[in-house]
Structure 1
Amino acid sequence: MELVLRDGIEVKIKELHQWGTYNGLLEGLPTDKSNKRAIERVIKRAQEMCYMDEYYLIEPKQTPIEVDKPYRFGTPMSLPPIVCVAELWHHQPARDEKMHASSLLLIWFQKEYCFPLGDEIIEKFKMVDWKKHALDFEY
């Protein structure tokens, strides 16, 4: 899949990984604090899968979970149910002209498994500042 960013840079999805946000949650409700830890684990897993330290996270929206009584473990909040991790490539370097190409590890959350990507997430993709966030590499 190819996308054109707001600055005219055309990128391709080289890899795409997806899994359930709350895979492994055995009991209880997710909270704002546990979601923060979950996002940190997602970032670490994404970095290990794609062998990249730098990443760009499209900050997920947390939705309150209605409960009948106070929840003693924190404020119940849910993230979108699907984690998406993509490695994007562009055939030109972002900053260092001595390099051959550039890539970016992009992490986001959404309601359903891809494909297709939702219009809302595509608009967020387009807003990524490639020259600022992408890493240059050589073959």
Structure 2
Amino acid sequence: MDSIKIQIPSLSENIRIIESFIDNAKERFSLNDDIYGNIMIAVTESVTNAIKHGNSGDKSKNVHLSLTIQDNQIVFTIRDEGNGFDHTNLPDPTSPENIDKPGGRGIFLMKHLCDEVNFKDEGRIVELSFYLN
């Protein structure tokens, strides 16, 4: 099992560090372009949510990102230090009353780009899984 970890303070400009982390993973594990694109969007979206919503932009709180490769899948685990949220009760961004609202599409996007999305620890931990085939 191969695993890499990083943590960043909750500042939106630190997303570029996450992008570099993903670029390094692409090189190290020879990820194909299709999966790489999905990973880049889903993971940066999840980290952005952790910074903005999870840690409420508090730069004294960190976002933790780890990547694990196991059994022909790559799993990114994103953890924030916030209060968590109810991931079972999110508005559908595709319903007519929400279509014009900014935001609210991140988790929807993640669910469509990943093979699996799991929330743990009351929403403070998100696991994004991608199958390598």
Q: Where on the TM-score scale, by shorter chain, does this alignment land: which range? A: 0.3 to 0.5
- TM-score normalized with structure 1 length: 0.41
**If you compute each CA radius of gyration, which structure gives the higher value, 1 or 2?**
1
- TM-score normalized with structure 2 length: 0.42
Q: Which of the pair is proportionally richer in helix? A: 2
